[in-house]
Every structure is written in structure tokens, then in C-alpha cells.
Structure 1
Amino acid sequence: MINLICNLFLKFMRLINRFQGLAVATALIALLGCSPAVTQVPTPTTEKPLQPTPIVPTSISPHLLLGNPSSATPTKLTPDNYLMVKNQYALSYNNSKGTANWVAWQLNKSWLGNADRQNNFRPDDTLPTNFLRVTPTIYSGSGYDRGHIAPSGDRTKTVDDNSSTFLMTNMMPQTPDNNRNTWGNLEDYCRELVSLGKELYGPLRLP
């Protein structure tokens, strides 16, 4: 009799254990099924800040040894202060005026030689395509000379050097008297200083 009671008790406990396990499993399923869906929160996008206009180091050219007078940059975002660096000189181009704001060039004996004056006035094809490209004929009948800023006589080492001074970006309208006398005499004086071993840079841009 006692054995029968013990067997019934053990079966009863096993049945309880099974129900407990089933209850736990059911509870876990319910919890998993009712848990809120995980939603991915989109990462907010931030606009990149505008990059500042790059500062062109004066070491980019020997002609800018004394500085960049107007802080010109080689970007189309500043069309009226557009930096152009050539082997023979550097300049800031003003697209609204079609002339240079300034031209800077180094002058020493290394730039002087026996190359002839080329007289090949022409537009500057290195300007951006949407920029004003002044042609030599624009001066015709105006009463003004196509006046060099960086002088032809300062670039006589090679034909290419001299030819580069005839680009229209290196021209400024000058009255004949100023171009051929006052300005011309200043150019001659500068080359006299070079013959004495001096090294010159120009121009000086005053505020």
C-alpha cells in the first residue's frame, strides 16, 4: 500500500514538473512575441560645412616672393580676383574689367638675353571658358596703347618668355605718352639696376 502511494506521488510530481516547464516555455514565447519590434533610428545627416577659400602660399611662384597683394585665388568663385601663375609672372585678373588688378614679376639677370620682341598680342587662352577674353583689336581706334604691365624688355631670355608678355591679361590701356615715355623710362631704369647686379620685384601695391 505504501509503495502504491509513493508511486502515485512520484507520478504526480513529474506531472507538475512538466506543467511548470510548459508554463515557463509558454511565458517565454509570450514575452518574445509581445516584445516591441526593434526599429532602426536613421542616423541624422549633417551638411558638410563650406570649405574656406584656399590661401595660396606665396612660395608657389618666385614672382610672389613679396606676397599676394589682394589674396587672389585660382578659383572661379572670385572672378574679379582670379590668380594666374605663369612661369614668367603672376597676376590677379579682374573679369569685370578685362584687365589685371596687378601683375607681379621677378627681374634679375637670369631673365635677360637676346630674344627679339615678338609682338604677338593675343587673348589669354588659360582663362576659364566663361571668363572675358579680351582680344587685341579692342584697343583699335580708342587712342590708347596696349600697354605692357610686365614689360617685354624684362623677358628676353627665350622667345617663349618674351611671347608670354603679349597676352592680353598682361595689358593695360595707356595713353601713348605714358606708355612710351613715362612708363617706358621706368622700365629702362629698372633694367639698368639689374645690370648693376640688383634684383627687382614689382609692382608695389599701395592701399
Structure 2
Amino acid sequence: MNEYLKVFDQYYKQTGIEQRDFIHANGYWHEVFHCWIIERTDSEWRIYLQLRSKNKKDYPNQFDITAAGHILASETVEDGVRELEEEVGINVRFSQLISLGVIPYSIDNEKIKDYEFANVFIYELRGGIEQFTLQREELDGIYSVDLNQFILLATSKIKKIEVSGYKYINEKRHYETKQIGLEQMSTLPESYLLEFIPRMKQKLIEAT
């Protein structure tokens, strides 16, 4: 099924509507919804990363934003909240999300020309990792990491971080703790992370 997305110029002004595959093939700007789920445990914050399915066409078996997806031509940014329920089984209202604004970024290589205006949000979870129900067509697992460690990795201060969670192996959950680096997060270019990190830190400061 072909998805149709709004097309924008570099100033975020809509210029038309095109098929998703055509947009990615030609490097047209379009809208996406990003929601990072965080959770306070004792005195620390943790941030959740999804593990993309090994069967995905783009970036298989890579760690990514907790829940994300394209905003269809028929949708508004508010409709993007559906991604949380669809991908990770977390049912929330749009008003419960904390907006970090729009972060434009691009990934341009031999496989894809992805020029996105990311509408970025955070959501504070309560209850731990067992609150998640994964969309198995899209995700193979869900993990969390100490937020300070994630920030150090994202800003290239350290090379590896320890993530804890589970992935599905033969449709059974396999719980584990392991080390990953930025090479396992190729969906997130440095330009995006360097915008996302200070915006998130500011919102957490304001919330305390």
C-alpha cells in the first residue's frame, strides 16, 4: 500500500503531496513524529530505545527512538501519537507529551535520501519495561539506558553504553544487558542528536 505524505520546502512550507517511496528516492522534505520515552528510577533518569526488526527494509536490527513514524498527508502532528500505541503499546493522549519542537535533519546515502522535519516529544513512563507491548512487525526488542550515559554517547564523550531490556528470539523474550555504540544507532545522525540532547535536558530541568 502506497502512503502519501506532505512535501515541504526547506523552510517547512508545504508544496504538495507525494508517495512515500518517491519522496525518499528524490530527497523531498516531509514530516515525521518522534517520541522518546523516559522514566525516573530512584535518583536517575533512563531513556528507552526500540530495537528495529531484523526484517525492516531500512536500518534493520538498529537501535532507534522509542516510537516514531511518518505523518501521513491526511494527518496532523497530533495524530502522530498513534505511533506510541501501535509500536510499543503505550496509550497516551497528545496533551500528555512534552514538545521539544521541530528538528530538521537529513540522511543522504546510496540507499536513501531522507529529509525530515521531526516533530519531537518526550513522555514520562511509570511502571517499567513491562508496560510495553511491541508491534512485532516493526520491533524486535525494547531496551533502556541511563540517560547521562546516553548523552555522553550522543555527544561522542564515550564510545559504548550499557543497555538493558529484551529482544524476541523465536517469539520468546530474551532478557539481556549488553554494550552498544553509535554504530548500532545509524538511524540517528549526529546533527539530530546534538539538537535533541540540549532541548531534552532543558525540559527536564524545567520539570524539576
TM-score, scaled relative to structure 1 = 0.25
Quick one: higher RCO (CA 8 Å, sep 6+), 1 or 2? 2
Whichever structure has more helix as a proportion of its residues is: 1
Whichever structure has more strand as a proportion of its residues is: 2
TM-score, scaled relative to structure 2 = 0.25
